[in-house]
Chain A
Amino acid sequence: MATTRPFSYNPLQSTITGTTNLGTICIGVSDLDYATSPGGLTWWMGPDEDNSYVVCKEVTAQNFPTPLGNIGNVQFWRSTNTDLAFKDLVSIISGTTQASASAASDWLLLNGYWTNYDAQAFINAASITNTTQKTAIDTLVNGLKADSIWTKMKAIYPFVGGTASTHKFNLKDPRDLIAAYRLTFSGGWTHNSNGITGNGTNSFAESYYFPITINTIGAYNRTAATNQTLLGATFTGVDNDGFQTNPIGLVLRGNSVSPGYIGTTFSAGIPAPAAITVSRTAADGATAIKVYRNGTQNSTGNNSEWQLLVTNGAYVPSMIIGARRQDDYDYDGFVIASNYYDYTTANIAFSFMGDTALTATEVTNLNTRIQAFQTTLNRQV
């Protein structure tokens, strides 16, 4: 049975129940009777998406050729579901050579096109076959794009599929490569339909994403994390007098008290359930770091030490999930110790890292998308 969905041109970007807007492209996401013109729009079914990547663009003149005459308000393209075929298709659409499938998808979004590529590429990579999970991923991707959050993220780990082999993939770039920030799990994790759960003794997941450019991190933890780290990376050096400097880095950690750490808010531990988002919205200053819980700002933090780190262009160990990795350096810049601290026992059902700060509105919208994603998967708490 073919997999299709309806599209329309929604010039006023009006909100229509059961649909999602991407600019002026309106995408049907519910079983509405589209023949009755929901929202007063004329709807057109898209191509079969089984084993295909599909692209859609509105036709503002509403004169695209159709079997019913030159009345179409959307246009479709389709390729087979390989990165090469998709890249080539977008190269033709854009009239420019696309360097990669991921770059092609970025071009489409930037230029107001819709595509199923990102959700489908992840679903294919992770071998997701469950219809509910596929729908949840597709809805999440469309929502993050509609909210202009998608391009601000470098890594999104939805932890869907129930195994390490499905949980390892980055929704933003689901290639099975370190360069794609694919996770490598070490130690005693528990993987199931609720996501990943640490053992508190030696479990962590390496992201290979170096936080020097990270401006947003976050996680959805279904259980509390006290004296534990959900994700983080820090380093210490040695000052000119031979004393170890305070750790500097980026950590989402319960009970953290250092101004150099981002997770300074939760002095009693990170509660659950919580979708925690930390974002740096200014270059420096006492309120540069904003910490949100479930979409509402919880506190601010000082960014001076983090800014110092960036200014110095220091090497920082890559971000890990489920613990905090800290590399210690001597004053010649050599690593003298690499340690892992604060292993978590929390059940983590979502995590993300981005190189661009989010506004308060974007954090609220992100929280809404994360909560809806968890609800669809029947694991929202």
Chain B
Amino acid sequence: MVGKTQTYFILAILTVVVMAISGCGESVTNPASSPAAIAGGEIVIKVASANGINMNHVGTLPYLAGSRAALDLKKQMGDTPVHAVIIAEYFEDKAAKSKALKGVCSVFDSSIVYGFASYGSFGQDGCSDNDTVRVIGIGGAGISVAAALEENLGAGKLTMEDDLDELQKRLQEAGSSISSKLPKTQDAKLMVLIPDAHSPKNAYVVEGAHKVLGKDFPITGGSANKNPGQTYVYYQGQMFTDSAIAFMLSGDFKVSLAGRKAKENSKVISTAGEAFAEASANLDAKPIAALAFNCAGRKGKLDNLQDELDAIQKEFGKTTPIFGTYCAGEIGPADVAEKPEGVLSSGNGWHLMVTILGR
């Protein structure tokens, strides 16, 4: 017979084992921040990607994709201290996503690994669809990254037809809450916001952020994949649903934002080039890297994914890193006829939101 104490002991051991396997149970630091940026210090931003498609088509290999992309990124970052690694992955279910995340965490310390489920991604190396991971590494003494997590947005099943007021309230509060966790120092330049809130709901999260940061503060970002069972954001190597993550990038660099909306093949292509051209023209500095939060709906309208990237590269060149992702909503300067006065960034759909960082 097994005694009560032994039973509890066995249960405790099992719990630890299960939590270790699932990756849960580790506490996160929320908010978290790298050291303050040093003026004139080095800024290194690099991007890598890998796919997890098994050549024998037996199945996908998400762990391998995650670790491969991370290894490539680590190589590119060299000896530069890395403050944050943000991943955008497009795998089918929780198990595969978890493996991709673990793959990245096998190379980088999980305390600096963040990210979200997307609908694929793109960069200078091409467009990535299903079963792929793209990672961006941000490092160097010249840039500081602060990160925050907001759990339990509580808007997942609320509809605009029945619950509009409640929906607005919850998401605005979440936007304010996550923004207030991040330091808005004098050298704060850009907030990157990634909520689990499909457009048009992402607009309310940004409205909440405006209350803390001001309407003219540069904010960009994209909404996590909304496919059932795929709505994850990642914070310090752990998976969260119904949540938002945000980053504040600070330092003596410049940012230039542009947004373009389109809903048809030819316009998706032409507006992508226009957005990069506008952001480049207004940067007034040497570009370091570009963040491009693109709409999954725009992707769906393309006859050929590469056409949009070709238009981007025509304007932006083929060497400066681009971290491009397809999202369920985009945050940045709205391309609409009637813009609210004084508002730089808002939550939208059908947009490509480009931010170029430079110095």
Do chains A and B stick together as partners? no
Chain B residues packing against A (C-beta within 8 Å)? none
Using a CB–CB cutoff of 8 Å, the interface residues on chain A facing chain B are none
